[in-house]
Amino acid sequence: MNLLFCFLGVFMGTLVGVLPGLGPTAAISLLLPVSFHLSPVSSIIMLAGIYYGAMYGGSTTSILVNMPGEAASVITCLDGHQMAKKGRAGAALGIAAFGSFIAGTIGAVGIMLVAPPMAKFALAFGPAEYFSLLLMGIVIIVYMSSGSILKDLLSAMFGLLLGTIGMDSISGTQRLTFGILELTDGIGFIPAVMGLFGVSEIFMNVERAVVTTLVTEKVKNLLPDRQDWKESFWPIIRGTVLGFFMGVLPGPAPVISTYSSYALEKKISKTPEKFGTGHIVGVAGPEAANNAASSGAMIPLFTLGIPANSVIAVLLGAFMIHGLQPGPMFISKYPDVFWATIVSMYIGNAMLLVLNLPLIPLWVKVLKVPYTILFPLILVFCLIGVYSLNFSQVEITLMIAFGVLGYLMRKYKFEMPPLILALVLGPMMESSLRLSLLMSQGDPTTFLRRPLSAAFMIVSTTLIVLAMIPGIQKKRAKLKEKLGDDEI
Amino acid sequence: MKRNNIIGGIFFLIVGLIFAVYSRSVDIGDWSEPGAGFLPFYGGLIVIGMSLLLVVGSFVRMDAAVEPFFPESDSWKRVLSTFLALVAYNVLLRQLGFALVTFLFVGFLVKFIFPQGWWKSLATAALATVCVRLVFVNLLEINFPKGILGF
């Protein structure tokens, strides 16, 4: 059955990834309710499949219609679409699939090797270290967000405050529930995420009159030839290594790794003038980096319980919904979930390769579905999905409210990833903070006296100070332009 | 951008005030024994401070031309209609039942947001209702309200 859920995950992930405007974050958000009814192992296997399926789906639209399905596929447009225009869409799609498969497989091996020792190291963490680490995670996401550090910090603080709604885990006191039973466990993560990323996206899209669907090229010859392999092999390996280690660091690693891989390959290439004209290396390296970064991003999730980006934050929320607590004890407490997820990565990547190439004509058909038909279906999916969680209309109301909030935040240029990350991490941060203060008898310098905690605090402070320097603000704004709205 | 910051700042100021004021009705505790209201109270104060900084800083800064809120003249109608359709779905779900309300919801959006023909709208609504029922009711065995139609 888990093989079936793995297949469903990669299939649905690719399908949603192909749809323009819905990135991996929205894909996982929309499909979370489906996984809710499965066992924890099956659910996580399916969600992991959705994650890298969505990453692959994004590159399909980049190559075929020059429209990236998500921010990490922007770079693939440069050479991938040029290859398609020259009648080599098949080779581009093929090398993207093979490159992703190789990178994903090596990435899965990397997780097996790196995660257990990292988890052992994290066992030394106390509440103070945890609080500082979680704070650093949020600050890093804030730093990687748009130009105004103050507005991003406000979003993050808002998320923290929203995370306090519900029953206090230490004293059992109800906070801001107003007698509503559904709020006793806090603001539902799924309604919040589906509202912020799914519903608000629809509100943004219906503002503009719909553009007719783009014409796609006919796709043939899906297997790269010997010359393609000769040119692509080492870029795939380099992209894999680069992407994997970037993925471990918090931030939009799948996106940044694609830019870094492209820049690296262009720099060391003997024919840099070919980049941008349909050079297969411009597809192979970034696609491998993208997939490897997606694997690497799982490591801080499994070992520290820290999501490296907003997509992983949604995965973290899914873990917690199933009663699984990622962190240093995760591998020893839930070895079946950990190893099942690793194995599913091997199998899922193989499925992506074997199944998605023949399914390309289907994805082309999906791209031709007009948005006027698509968006009501997406909304129905959101409504039904949220209702099916607890059969509560309060949760639908919450989703709509978060949809309006997300829409207004986008209009007024407040970032959402810091909010969602703080909403997910907030309860853990609060309990770590209160425990640390209890243990230190109210001494806040405990966060600086403990070496690891002090190191995290110094990194956080440095990033906030750096973000305020005008020169760095401009660079962050430029990076934000490249990355897009929600793929942080 | 200036207008965005002022409006956003005022919104977060109100949010901070709500949390800071409300948390006084639960136990804030002190630094050596933080209570349930500790983070909402101090977090609320931090948000109030940051919001004031944002609002005051925006008044001081000179700004270029103001961007229109809606990109097109009838954007607001489409956004508002979509929002009201969502609210109506939620309100009528139990009364009308899942199948009928889904059919009406999809039909309304397809027909009126980016106007399509009646046949296309009705066919899309019917197909969507059937597919959603197959996936959620038949495959995942989730029980949705039956409403006045009984299915």
A163: left (phi over 0), alpha (psi -120 to 50) or beta: alpha
Query: What is the rounded radius of gyration, in angstroms, for the C-alpha atoms of chain B?
Result: 24
Angle between helices A281-296 and A89-122 (to 10 degrees): 30
Q: Do A157 and B57 touch (CB under 8 A)?
A: no
Task: Note which residues in 110-129 of chain B have CB less than 8 A from chain A.
Answer: 110, 113-114, 116, 124, 128
Chain A CB contacts of B90 below 8 Å: 383, 393, 396-397, 400
Chain A CB contacts of B71 below 8 Å: 207-208
pLDDT tens-place string over residues A341-351: 788 777 887 88
pLDDT tens-place string over residues A266-307: 888 888 888 888 888 989 998 899 888 888 888 888 887 777
> CA-to-CA distance for A199 and A204, rounded, in angstroms?
9
Task: Note which residues in 378-417 of chain A have CB less than 8 A from chain B.
Answer: 379-381, 383-384, 387-388, 391, 393, 396-397, 400, 403-404, 407, 411-414
Average pLDDT value for residue range A416-430: 85
What pLDDT was estimated at residue A401?
95
pLDDT tens-place string over residues A387-414: 877 888 999 999 999 999 999 998 888 8
Amino acid (1-letter code) at residue A147: G
Q: Do A372 and B69 touch (CB under 8 A)?
A: no
pLDDT tens-place string over residues A26-49: 677 777 777 777 788 888 888 888
Determine which of A44-58, A469-483, B15-29 has the lowest per-residue pLDDT on average.
A469-483
What pLDDT was estimated at residue A212?
46
Angle, vertex CA A23, rays to CA A22 and CA A26, nearest 5: 70
Residue A211, chain B, CB below 8 Å: the answer is no
Determine which of A62-71, A224-233, A378-387, B64-73 has the lowest per-residue pLDDT on average.
A62-71
pLDDT tens-place string over residues A110-145: 888 888 887 777 777 888 988 998 888 888 778 766
Total beta-carbon pairs less than 8 A apart between chain A and chain B: 169
Q: How far, CA to CA in Å, does A95 sit from each of A100, A429, A457, B41?
A: 8, 43, 43, 54
Q: How confident is the model at residue A210 (pLDDT cuts 50, 70, 90)?
A: low
Closest among A207, A410, A403 to B77, alpha carbons compared: A207
Listed in order, strand segments (DSSP E) in A129-272 are 166-167, 174-175
Mutate which of A46, A380, A382, A391 to test chain B, going by most B C-beta atoms within 10 A? A380
Q: How confident is the model at residue A486 (pLDDT cuts 50, 70, 90)?
A: very low
| Contact between A195 and A403 (Cβ < 8 Å) | yes
Residue B102, chain A, CB below 8 Å: the answer is yes
Q: Nearest CA to CA, how far is B72 from chain A (Å)?
A: 7
